[in-house]
Structure 1
């Protein structure tokens, strides 16, 4: 078997080992073996192939791996502005329907409408902010109610039938 085929087999085995370990080191060695195999396919002697493998390995492990590790360890970008509001909880100040409404998100008052145009979110309940369009928050109602944790949407519907005043 020719030397370049052995290099390609070594590259394949190192690539598979990299997929199983996710260390990046074996992947860089696989690339170095691939380069050495290409060198062998060009007809260079085995000594030159080993030298190319050594240089490519050292270059990958000494240059590429530290840069890649530094990049992976960076903290996620901070969300700011309206992007930071997506996923937060909103407290409805007025009924929120497709025509609009008002909510409090993180101490600020926002205009709002439900994400589902057919939905109506009663006042004094909580909802999740799914998106921000301009200065309007798009909401999805949660199953728990207002700030006390009670289901005010269900109680308000039940109280309408009895004539009892809701708080």
Structure 2
């Protein structure tokens, strides 16, 4: 019985440690998840200071954190990411790019020159071969190989 009274008497220290730990993790992740959990911890600390039993403090903290995670976090994330540049970069920018076959593209390899000036090792997405001069479009990139298909395929599909 003495242990339970000690826990209830010093629960505010546990809440402070929990809040500070969540805030430090939030500073490292910047995802608003641990911020919402720390605000839930503040609600638990507040209920402790108002004299609520420990079990009620935990329920209040969990409920506040859950509501904030479900209601407040999504619009905050959308607002934070609103200014991001939607332009694809690196390999993602190559998908959909057109080009021309330089050397015969078959299942064993070949080369294409893309419209951005890059020369890539290529393979066809479907069976068959693509002859030099064929206009192609990149379907996907796997490692250092571009998987291409003839330009006409895309307009009919």
Q: TM-score, normalised by structure 2?
A: 0.46
Larger radius of gyration: 1
